[in-house]
Amino acid sequence: MSVSHDEDVQYHVQLRPGDVGRYVLLPGDPGRCEPIAALFDEAAHVSSNREYTTWTGTLDGEKVSVVSTGIGCPSAAIAVEELIKLGADTFIRVGTSGAMQPDTPSGQLAIVTAAIRDEGTSSHYLPMEFPAVASPQVVDALAIAARTVGADYRLGVTQSKDSFYGEVEPERMPMAARLADRWNAWIAGGAICSEMEAAAIFVISSINRVRAGGIMHMWSEGGDADADRARMLEVSVESLRVLIAKDRAGAQWP
């Protein structure tokens, strides 16, 4: 696809005003956009540029979108920045994560309440002392959706990191001891999963007074990864239905 330099087009996501709805699901993998869009009432491919693939459709008569962010906080931050400029105000990170607690059962989903800012992107927005917190409205909608679908889930904190191999192969890193100490601290503190995007999405959403949350498939040995991911996608789309209905009704949120 050729890149447009039209002033109305957001440079990286290559989207114009009207191309996306206010409710946006954010997987990392562009290949996950079409399967998510298939769960909308109707949907069409809008744009693909770099790691950013966009499908837009409707749910219960409301325009909704799914936009891939690529891997990591830098590219996720660009997506959220440009989507906010286009009028989106509700974001749900949808992705795979590593389970951190030893008692995590196979197939359990993580509904993220906050993120450990173990990455560098969000420090360009706010001091590290500022917490990366999910919107209570989005957390509530995800929990309602999970119960509606019958999915097993837990609420908790994610670790957002910059280095995938620093997590999965820490022993070969020059900073192996420090990585292990920090990892053990996150677990002792109750963190439930580890991924690479939530912290930046939450911090940027806080600054712009928009809503954000996250739902993760927590990968663990012995599970049915395909079935678990399909259930996660079902919950994410159902959560949009919950948000749409409550927003229309002017509901009092927690």
Burial class for 233, CB neighbours closer than 10 Å (0-12, 13-18, 19+) = buried
Q: How many Cα atoms are found within 13 Å in the side-chain-facing hemisphere of 30?
A: 14
| Within a domain: 10 | no
| Within a domain: 118 | yes
Instruction: Map 74-127 to HEC letters.
Output: HHHHHHHHHHHHCCCCEEEEEEEEEECCCCCCCCCEEEEEEEEEECCHHHHCCC
| Within a domain: 73 | yes
**What is the dihedral sign for C-alpha 140, 141, 142, 145?**
positive
| Within a domain: 54 | yes
pLDDT at 107 over 90: no
- Give the model's pLDDT for residue 219: 79
| Within a domain: 56 | yes
Rounded CA-CA distance 71/208 in Å is 22
Rounded CA-CA distance 183/24 in Å is 31
Indicate the residue type of 34.
Answer: E
- Give the model's pLDDT for residue 252: 64
Model pLDDT for residues 38-50, shown as the tens digit of each residue: 999 999 999 999 9
| Within a domain: 16 | no
- Give the model's pLDDT for residue 133: 98
| Within a domain: 7 | no
| Within a domain: 234 | yes
Indicate the residue type of 182.
Answer: R
Q: Are 6 and 16 in contact (CB under 8 A)?
A: yes
Model pLDDT for residues 65-89, shown as the tens digit of each residue: 999 999 999 999 999 999 999 999 9
Closest CA to 77 of 31, 14, 32, 124: 124
- Give the model's pLDDT for residue 1: 47
pLDDT at 220 over 90: no
pLDDT at 119 over 80: yes
Range of the domain at 237: 23-244
Q: How many Cα atoms are found within 13 Å in the side-chain-facing hemisphere of 20?
A: 32
Closest CA to 92 of 67, 125, 55: 67
Rounded CA-CA distance 131/104 in Å is 25
- What is the phi/psi pair of residue 248, to 5°? -65, -35
Burial class for 124, CB neighbours closer than 10 Å (0-12, 13-18, 19+) = exposed
Helix (H, G, I), strand (E, B) or coil at 154: strand
Residue 44: enclosing H or E segment and its boundaries?
strand 42-49
Rounded CA-CA distance 253/246 in Å is 8
- Give the model's pLDDT for residue 253: 58
pLDDT at 55 over 70: yes
pLDDT at 4 over 70: no
Query: Residue 104 sits in a domain of what CATH number?
Result: 3.40.50.1580
Model pLDDT for residues 165-190, shown as the tens digit of each residue: 999 999 999 999 999 999 999 999 99
pLDDT band at 225 (very low <50, low <70, confident <90, very high): confident
Model pLDDT for residues 123-164, shown as the tens digit of each residue: 999 999 999 999 999 999 999 999 999 999 999 999 999 999
| Overall number of domains in the chain | 1
* CB neighbour burial string for 67-80, b if at least 16 within 10 angstroms, e if fewer: bbbbbbbbbbbbbb
- Give the model's pLDDT for residue 191: 98
Residue carrying the six token digits 């990170």? 93
Mean pLDDT on 199-221: 94
